[in-house]
Structure 1
Amino acid sequence: MKVFTLLASLLVADVAVVAAQGTIVPHKPSGDLNGSNFTYPFPLHLYKFTSQQQQLEMAFMDVAPTSAPNNKTAILFHGNFFCGATWNQTIHVLAGIGYRVIVPDHIGYCKSTKPVGYQFSVAQLATNANTLLQTLGIGNVTVVGHSFGGMLTFRYGLMFPNSVDEMVVINAIAMEDYTAKGVPYLTIDANYASSLQSTFASIQSYENTTYYVGQWEDAYDVWVQMVIDVFYGSKRDAFNFNQAQIIDVVLTQPIAHEFANVIPPVLLMIGEKDTTAIGKAWSPPSVAATLGNFTALALDVSAQLPNCTLFTFPDLGHAPHISDPARFSAALVEWLLTGAINANDV
């Protein structure tokens, strides 16, 4: 508790915090930072550290409880077309029930470094998050992850089970082994060329179909603009190449065969109308038809996890925390406080 108090005091005082893992300094939440000019809803800090012989910066928000502290910390992992800022409503909910909330942008994304020559892996990104927490003096955490962040949450729980109180996984990608199901390999160079073609219209169309099941609202435009600004920002080439590297990670580093080894309790939250599947777009029709069935995946994965609560949203897609934040938050809070969810309460 004394370490936490000292670190928090130093951050509030705009003094750099130095630990063996790296250095943490405050940063203004607006203006261009590593290719992103989006204004974040809470003050930003930079975790400066060395990884793979490169000096990197991981941007993150550190939000204090807004009610009586419960002495617990939640770390939130964003997905591929998302940044830490898209957790805004969930941050308010968790801080409102006493959590300290840490929200990083993964390396390669948003306001964090877009490294050249970096060997991306789910284990490396999980390790980066773990050393951030160590540097902050934080022990056990509740890990919440969406989409690619859900895949990362599973890997984090497998790597650091003794420091995870519980896990919340929302429409994780890679709950199936895409390559084993027949998705052809596409090179990083080919995925890079494809990423460079991304536009506001193409991302909006994709998200409308898979994330929001054809129920687009104007409020979602801000999240598309947030990521398209990075696609065309000051780190455009490096970011698009990092995107291609992440696709390669998802295809070549499956987690779908390890769910039985996950020790911490898991809340698996699934929007059943989601059809997201990496590689589906370039797979033969016979393969594509077998991918992204989240109703079936939810049942299959929840049965494999030793300690799992499954909660589904039959009418929602890939991003239930954005498309129906009130219903999502009610289920999340009930599980965190009681370890169960009564569907009649949501």
Structure 2
Amino acid sequence: MPHAFVTYFTCLLAAVGPTYAASSTYGPELQGFQYPYPVEHFSFQSQGKSLQMGYMDIPATGTANGRSVVLMHGKNFCGATWEGSIKALSDAGYRVIAPDQIGFCTSSKPEHYQYSFQQLAINTHQLLEKLGIQKATVIGHSTGGMLATRYALMYPTQTEQLGLVNPIGLEDWKALGVPYQSVDQWYQRELKLSAEGVRKYELDTYYVGRWKPEYERWVDMLAGLNKGPGHTQVAWNSALIYDMIFTQPVYYEFKDVQVPTLLLIGTSDTTAIGKDVAPPAVKARIGNYQVLGKQVAKLIPHATLVEFPGLGHAPQMEEPEQFHKALLQGLNAL
């Protein structure tokens, strides 16, 4: 490791305080990592394979309002990372379903799978049918925002409301000049994933330079899953998922979303897939959520925009009290 990076990283650790040793290893379906609520598994057939989808099903702890919320996690997140939002929504009277999509976290990671947002939406819809949920508010964060949008497009009569928390896909990166990376390239990159790399990326991109000790749990989760016994299996599925994200934009269909939509945007977010390999001129113009949130709010017919100035990619984790107050007010107003 270059001396300059060692010096930088040492200074960074000193600045952010004590961190996990990030020496944990977890099974290919995140065995060994503690979820905030009991994890159940939905078994089903898809593309000729027997798969299992991990999920949490949390009843209302406050006065039940008869409504259900489905929380869709992002690419570098899991159902577990919705912990604070699950509690806030459950306390407010919602039944909360937080699945891990196929290829992620506590769910199956098939060797061969044609990933599409349509397929993941179908999987989720089958889970909700099994749970007897006929209509739900669907909230997606990051890549989960792309999936939640696809779900609302496919199942408009069964989507009560749509919530998008710093969703990626608010622009089409390939159309803007980001170079295509093959699945093999993504795979080689994912094989090298480390706790230090995860932490630095999240510090720079997600939390805009403000690190909190509680984020270490999620670094440990990702790094421990990647370097566990399912190392190559996890990396391969991750590569396939990156290809799905890059090649299957929902951007052009925002105009077709008919359900009431709440956009919750941390304006200092700079997330964009492939930004690190983009030419300087392209890199400078993508991932600008200060602009993107406003643009997409105009594209979606029934959208309400709530901005969080100065917050990054995960406002629900950065400032949970502020975020959840806005979320609950927004859902009640839609």
Alignment of 1:1-346 (within 5 A): 32=27, 34-339=29-334
**AA aligned opposite 1:293:** N
**Equivalents in 2 of 1:33, 1:204: separation in Å?**
21
**Equivalents in 2 of 1:293, 1:128: separation in Å?**
31
Equivalent position SS for 1:263? coil
Structure with the larger RCO, 1 or 2 (CA within 8 Å, 6+ apart): 2
**Equivalents in 2 of 1:89, 1:52: separation in Å?**
34
Q: Any idea what the Cα deviations from partners look like across 1:44-76, whole Å, max 9, x if unmatched?
A: 110000000000000000000001211111000
- Structure 2 stretches of 5 or more lacking a match? 1-25
- Cα deviation for residue 35 of structure 1 reads 4.0
State how many pairs are aligned.
309
Residue in 2 that maps onto 1:343: none
- Cα deviation for residue 36 of structure 1 reads 3.7
- Structure 1 stretches of 5 or more lacking a match? 1-30, 340-346
- Cα deviation for residue 37 of structure 1 reads 2.1
- Cα deviation for residue 249 of structure 1 reads 0.6
**Equivalents in 2 of 1:36, 1:278: separation in Å?**
28
The answer (yes or no) to whether the contact 2:266–2:311 under 8 Å persists in 1 is yes
Structure 1 stretch 223-232 or stretch 320-329: which is displaced more?
223-232
Equivalent position SS for 1:220? helix
The answer (yes or no) to whether the contact 2:28–2:231 under 8 Å persists in 1 is no
- Cα deviation for residue 297 of structure 1 reads 0.6
**AA aligned opposite 2:98:** V
Closer/same/farther in 2, CA of residues 159 and 282 from structure 1, 3 Å limit: same
**Equivalents in 1 of 2:170, 2:244: separation in Å?**
14
**AA aligned opposite 1:288:** K
The answer (yes or no) to whether the contact 1:35–1:235 under 8 Å persists in 2 is no
Q: Any idea what the Cα deviations from partners look like across 1:116-162, whole Å, max 9, x if unmatched?
A: 11000111111110000011111000001100001111111111001
**Equivalents in 1 of 2:111, 2:183: separation in Å?**
13
The answer (yes or no) to whether the contact 1:141–1:163 under 8 Å persists in 2 is yes
**Equivalents in 1 of 2:190, 2:260: separation in Å?**
36
With normalisation by structure 2, the TM-score equals 0.91
Residue in 2 that maps onto 1:344: none
**Equivalents in 2 of 1:267, 1:145: separation in Å?**
11
With normalisation by structure 1, the TM-score equals 0.88
Identity across aligned pairs (percent)?
Answer: 43
**AA aligned opposite 1:257:** Y
- Cα deviation for residue 33 of structure 1 reads 6.4
Q: Any idea what the Cα deviations from partners look like across 1:255-304, whole Å, max 9, x if unmatched?
A: 11111100110000110100000011111111111110111111110001
Equivalent position SS for 2:294? helix
**Equivalents in 1 of 2:146, 2:171: separation in Å?**
11
**AA aligned opposite 1:309:** T
**Equivalents in 1 of 2:286, 2:150: separation in Å?**
21
Residue in 1 that maps onto 2:14: none
Q: Any idea what the Cα deviations from partners look like across 1:304-331, whole Å, max 9, x if unmatched?
A: 1000000011110000000000000000
Equivalent position SS for 2:306? strand
Query: Alpha carbon RMSD of aligned pairs, Å?
Result: 1.0
**Equivalents in 2 of 1:35, 1:207: separation in Å?**
20
Q: Any idea what the Cα deviations from partners look like across 1:173-210, whole Å, max 9, x if unmatched?
A: 11100100011111000100001111101110000011
**Equivalents in 2 of 1:312, 1:37: separation in Å?**
37
Residue in 1 that maps onto 2:19: none
The answer (yes or no) to whether the contact 2:117–2:244 under 8 Å persists in 1 is yes
